[in-house]
Structure 1
Amino acid sequence: MGHFSRGSGRRCVSRAVLGGVTLALVFMLLLIGGAGSALATTLSTPYLAMTVQPGQTVTIDLSITDTVAQRLDLSVQGVPDGWEASVLGGGRPISAVMTDPEDELSLDLQVKLPPEAVEGTETLTVVARAGATTVSLPIALTVSQVEGGTTELTAEYAALRGPATATFTYTLTLKNSTLEERTYNLSAEGPENWTLSLTPSGATQETPTVSVQSQGTQKLQFKVTPPTRVEIGTYDLRVTASGSGETVSVPLQVEITGTYTLGLTTPDGNLNADVKSGDTTRVQFVVTNSGTGPLQDVKLSAAAPANWEVTFEPRTIDVLPANQQQTVTAVFKPAENAIAGDYVVTLTAAADEASADSDVRVTVKTGTLWGVIGVLIAIAAIAILGFVFRRYGHR
């Protein structure tokens, strides 16, 4: 026969109730744990605030991490009228992703500003939603005509100097400090009839465009060749790079100092002269400056045989303008005992910038008196020999 005890029944009911409460607490903890996992989504970017320009397209890095694998719906809120904003995955617009607790998702936020975007700060919010749970990432974009991260074009040396025959080479640096890769259109300006060549460093051919990575630089070589007859003076040049609504330029200068070319010859180009020993002979020469710059203090000199005298009238040309010539006189006086024959005398015209040499063949001829004396001596010698032959020849 069964036996029922009131006290023992109460203890059983108490244990049942306690067990039910415990099970409920465990279930609630599991629910809380699940909710906690859903809230463990992280949405981040290294760029929470930046300056942009009207008409610019900005690409901002995004990353998502999660502790569970789940679907996240993505959207961008707070987009001003006329702006375009989208989340990109693999270069394409996306609206949802599947997270992986073992891997970080890398995405991009692309924002296109209209050219008429008003200056000021706008906050765009990237939202990731999983059911009733949302994670938000606000990003502040300040619109300004001058972008915080911008493009710079600089020259290692902005001014060069040299003669018209030189080719001038400028080394330029194009720096992209923006948050996106940019393609720039390149152009160069200079005086008419000058040859201009703009190439990326290491390239052999000119190119109208060049791409520069975000936070990267590109070296450029700008070569300038003036025309042959360019006048002395200072000339202005300019190199320009434009891309993504931004234009930068660098002013350059080249100073042409002129070309200096001296020539020294006779009026007819015949570099021969006849002189008499012991006498002075005057021969005209032409000094020519065929360069583009004036020559100053042009000195005339000669290298002649020993005991010869060679002087010039004038000995110095103070100023010889470009494409001009001046006639000078060389005065030759051979040595008294110079033997008849050909000699070489080197004449020199020299300035600080240029010089010219001419080798002149100088033919020395004996004077008339000495010729007569020589003939008489020869006749006397012949007469003496004839007399001796007639008188003593038959003995």
Structure 2
Amino acid sequence: MLARKVKYQRPIKALFLFCVLFSFQGMAQQTSPPFTARLINLEAAANTTFTYNARLTNSAKVPRVYQLSANVPPGWNIAYKTEGYQVTSINVDSGKTQDINIEINPALETKPGKYNITVTALTGADSLKLNLEAVVKGTYNVTLSTPSGRLSDDITEGSRREIQLVVKNTGSIMLDNLELSAQAPPQWEASFSPATIKQLEPNKESTVTVTLKVPNKTIAGDYVTTFTVKNNNATSNAAFRMTVKTSILTGWLGILIILVALGAVYYLIRKYGRR
């Protein structure tokens, strides 16, 4: 009798545990927040975009239209995007969940700190709240110029010219791995020393030497070379105008060719003109 009792108690206990587990799962599903985000706390620079991946669930028995709004600090911008479109309201069917990307851009003059932002999805008398945190750690910014600020010079065709560039970190966060490049006219050559700045602290600057080589037989005139400094967080450009002049040797050679041609014409006239 005892063996039979134990034999029947085991399935009953298993059934009881299954029912309890199912009940807890049902309660968890019912009590899950209808307006959530995978990450509610993000840290970035003031001149970057804070992007939150949110989910809005309609637990009502009818479709609902939700109006989206938020209390952001003055000068900040916020945008709501779903399915590739920017929206201000969203229609969610009964029992469905809609993904929403919330993009927040702080004002450039925002001071470092933590900012609390509440996003509201309003439908009729119901108001769903989503509390987000944006931790602003400063700004990324870099400038590129010359020591004097002058962005023009002249050069003789077929020669080289060294140009001093000044890279300055005008933001409040250290910049790493700043790379320099140039977009020069065809067949021109530009080389940098150094070509990469490993680190540049805020309000500090670094001098870079760029050697610009102009090919032979370049037609005289003005040419523009665009220098660029950038990393993953900041970029800056400087358009440098270079005036190419013809070399003195080339000029005298041209004059000599003209004189030789005139002499040949004069000789032919003197020789054959008498006949």
* Interval containing the TM-score (normalised by the shorter chain): 0.5 to 0.7
Correspondent of 2:43 among 145, 154, 161: 161
1:318 is matched with 198
2:223 is matched with 343
Q: Which has the higher helix share?
A: 2
Q: Partners of 1:344 and 1:224 in 2: how far apart?
A: 35
Match runs of 1:52-91 below 5 Å: none
1:163·1:257 contact (CA, 8 Å) conserved in 2? yes
2:117·2:134 contact (CA, 8 Å) conserved in 1? no
- Residues 186-205 of structure 1 show CA distances to partners (whole Å, capped at 9, x for unaligned) of xx9xxxxx8699xxxxxxxx
Deviation >6 Å, runs of 4+: 166-171, 236-239
2:175·2:201 contact (CA, 8 Å) conserved in 1? yes
Q: Structure 1: 5+ residue runs without aligned partners?
A: 1-154, 172-187, 189-193, 198-222, 240-250
SS at match of 2:218: coil
**Cα 1:238/1:272, change in 2 over 3 Å:** closer
User: Is 1:382 aligned with 2:262?
Assistant: yes
SS at match of 1:323: coil
Q: Partners of 2:206 and 2:51 in 1: how far apart?
A: 36
Q: Partners of 2:188 and 2:48 in 1: how far apart?
A: 42
| TM-score (ref. length: structure 1) | 0.39
Q: After TM superposition, give the deviation of residue 388 of structure 1 in Å.
A: 3.0
Q: What RMSD, in angstroms, separates the aligned Cα atoms of the two structures?
A: 4.0
1:273·1:283 contact (CA, 8 Å) conserved in 2? no
- Residues 149-178 of structure 1 show CA distances to partners (whole Å, capped at 9, x for unaligned) of xxxxxx96653323224697999xxxxxxx
SS at match of 2:264: helix
User: Is 1:297 aligned with 2:190?
Assistant: no
Q: Percent identity?
A: 35
Q: Partners of 1:305 and 1:283 in 2: how far apart?
A: 16
SS at match of 2:42: strand
Q: Structure 2: 5+ residue runs without aligned partners?
A: 1-35, 55-70, 77-103, 119-130
- Residues 360-387 of structure 1 show CA distances to partners (whole Å, capped at 9, x for unaligned) of 2222223222222222222222233233
SS at match of 1:255: strand
Q: Partners of 1:304 and 1:238 in 2: how far apart?
A: 46
2:16 is matched with none
2:167·2:206 contact (CA, 8 Å) conserved in 1? yes
2:164 is matched with 284
1:228 is matched with 109
**Cα 1:303/1:195, change in 2 over 3 Å:** closer
| TM-score (ref. length: structure 2) | 0.54
SS at match of 2:181: strand
Q: Partners of 1:380 and 1:362 in 2: how far apart?
A: 34
- Residues 275-328 of structure 1 show CA distances to partners (whole Å, capped at 9, x for unaligned) of 222221111122222222121111111122333210011111111222333221
1:165·1:228 contact (CA, 8 Å) conserved in 2? no
User: Is 1:366 aligned with 2:242?
Assistant: no
Structure 1 residue identity aligned to 2:111: V
Larger radius of gyration: 1
Q: Partners of 2:160 and 2:132 in 1: how far apart?
A: 58
Q: Partners of 1:167 and 1:302 in 2: how far apart?
A: 28
1:279·1:334 contact (CA, 8 Å) conserved in 2? yes
Q: Partners of 1:363 and 1:292 in 2: how far apart?
A: 37
**Cα 1:317/1:336, change in 2 over 3 Å:** same
SS at match of 2:222: strand
Number of aligned positions between the proteins: 189
